């Protein structure tokens, strides 16, 4: 059984954005390697020359160009097209367990723990902020009605099973589920386009997670058996209540929202401090960089 970790980055035309992302990747991958030097780690980038050589030499990261995808102009779904590298052509990835992680993550334990303890469902993640199984506070007084409407819309879009509303920053695909996702990539694009053209409703208040909602539909259409990472093992935000007293997650997904607090409180990450206004623009999930 192959256990694999991979990252994906669509280069920005703005140097300051690329510089900041490379700092994030450096912190994430170096922290992963601090606890595990053996697991294969891949970093896909549409401009591989942007990635410093020491990522390969010091961190043993395989840096690869993006997998082929037709021009869809949708920024955040390139990461799923890169799953095509692990497809059935080679044979060696058929039953792979694949962990995707965003750049805004840090490891405080051996990543192998996640593969060993989260192997009883086909996919694992944390639910997005505000959804039923997210323990963070918030959501608003009409949250039940809003979440019921999300479920209704997923069914109307062809969903077959109840699916957790995953945040896609840390996602584990077990036992070759990634092959099924690869087979549905064209459907993923189709769903995104229908949302953009208002042919199907987008019932989620957050305008920045179209790609996540589309993936929830695809996973539901597949009849995927899903599970959730324990709050103790994968955090969402910095710092979650569970870790206020004793901070020991395997993976900290600090998120952009929590990044500045992390950088202010831990001198190891001071190079992540930035002018927040410079990065405050809303990102269009359909925008082509």
pLDDT digits (tens, 9 = 90+) for 56-88: 999 999 999 999 876 666 667 899 999 999 996
Predicted local confidence at residue 136, as pLDDT: 82
Predicted local confidence at residue 77, as pLDDT: 85
Residue 155 lies in a domain: no
Residue 48 lies in a domain: yes
Ranges of the chain with pLDDT below 70: 1, 70-75, 88-91, 138-139, 276-289
Predicted local confidence at residue 189, as pLDDT: 92
Q: CA-to-CA distance for 165 and 147, rounded, in angstroms?
A: 10
Structural domain tally of the chain?
Answer: 1
Sign of the alpha-carbon dihedral angle for 107, 108, 111, 117 = negative
Q: CA-to-CA distance for 66 and 52, rounded, in angstroms?
A: 17
Predicted local confidence at residue 289, as pLDDT: 33
Residue 195 lies in a domain: no
Residue 216 lies in a domain: no
Residue 276 lies in a domain: no
CATH of the domain at 72: 3.90.550
Spell out the residues 6+ positions from residue 180 whose beta carbon is closer than 8 angstroms to its own: 222, 224
Residue 275 lies in a domain: no
Residue 235 lies in a domain: yes
pTM of the model: 0.92
Structural domain boundaries, residue 251: 3-149+163-182+225-267
Residue 75 lies in a domain: yes
């Amino acid at each position: 059984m192959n256990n694999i970790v991979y990252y994906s980055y669509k280069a920005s035309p703005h140097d300051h954005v690329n510089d900041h992302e490379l700092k994030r990747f450096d912190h994430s991958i170096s922290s992963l390697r601090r606890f595990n030097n053996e697991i294969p780690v891949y970093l896909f980038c549409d401009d591989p020359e942007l990635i410093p050589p020491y990522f390969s030499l010091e961190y043993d990261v395989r840096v690869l160009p993006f997998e082929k995808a037709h021009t869809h102009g949708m920024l955040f779904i390139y990461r799923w097209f890169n799953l095509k590298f692990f497809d059935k052509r080679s044979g060696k990835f058929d039953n792979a367990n694949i962990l995707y992680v965003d750049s805004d993550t840090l490891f405080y334990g051996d990543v192998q723990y996640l593969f060993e303890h989260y192997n009883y469902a086909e996919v694992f993640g944390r639910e997005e902020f505000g959804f039923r199984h997210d323990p963070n506070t918030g959501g608003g007084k009409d949250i039940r009605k809003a979440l019921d409407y999300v479920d209704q819309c997923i069914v109307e879009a062809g969903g077959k099973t109840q699916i957790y509303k995953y945040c896609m920053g840390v996602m584990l695909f077990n036992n070759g589920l990634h092959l099924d996702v690869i087979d549905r990539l064209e459907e993923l694009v189709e769903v995104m386009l229908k949302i953009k053209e208002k042919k199907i409703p987008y019932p989620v208040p957050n305008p920045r997670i179209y790609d996540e909602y589309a993936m929830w539909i695809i996973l539901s259409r597949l009849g995927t058996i899903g599970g959730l990472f324990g709050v103790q093992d994968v955090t969402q935000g910095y710092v979650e209540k569970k870790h206020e007293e004793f901070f020991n997650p395997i993976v900290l997904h600090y998120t952009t929202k929590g990044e500045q607090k992390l950088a202010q409180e831990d001198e190891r990450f001071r190079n992540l401090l930035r002018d927040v206004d410079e990065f405050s623009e809303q990102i269009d999930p359909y925008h082509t960089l």
